[in-house]
Amino acid sequence: MQALPAGACDAHLHVFDPRFGTRFWAEAPQAMRAHATAADYAQLRGAMGLERAVIVQPRAHGTDNRATLHAIQSLGAASTRGIAVVHPEITDAQLQALHDGGIRGIRFSLHTEHDAAVRLDMLEPLAERIAALGWHVQLHWLASQIEAHAALLQRLPCTLVFDHMARLADSTDGAGVHQPAFGVVRGLVQQGRAWVKLSGPYLNSRAGLAAGYADCDALAQAWVAEAPQRLVWGSDWPHVTEAAHPPQTPMLLALLSRWISDAALRARVLVDNAAELYGFD
E strand intervals along 33-84: 52-56, 80-84
Q: Is there a catalytic annotation at residue 236?
A: yes
Interatomic CA distance for residues 223 and 129, integer angstroms? 30
Identify whether the C-beta of residue 161 lies closer than 8 Å to the C-beta of residue 194: yes
- In angstroms, what CA-CA distances link 118 with 94, 113, 123, 147, 175? 17, 9, 8, 20, 31
Closest CA to 146 of 122, 131, 163: 163
CB atoms within 10 A of CB 94: 13
Catalytic residue among 10, 215, 217, 236: 236
Identify whether the C-beta of residue 165 lies closer than 8 Å to the C-beta of residue 182: no
- Give CA angle at 137 (133, 139), nearest 5°: 170
CB atoms within 10 A of CB 97: 14
Q: Please tell me whether residue 188 adopts helix, strand or coil conformation.
A: helix
Interatomic CA distance for residues 222 and 213, integer angstroms? 15
Catalytic residues: 236
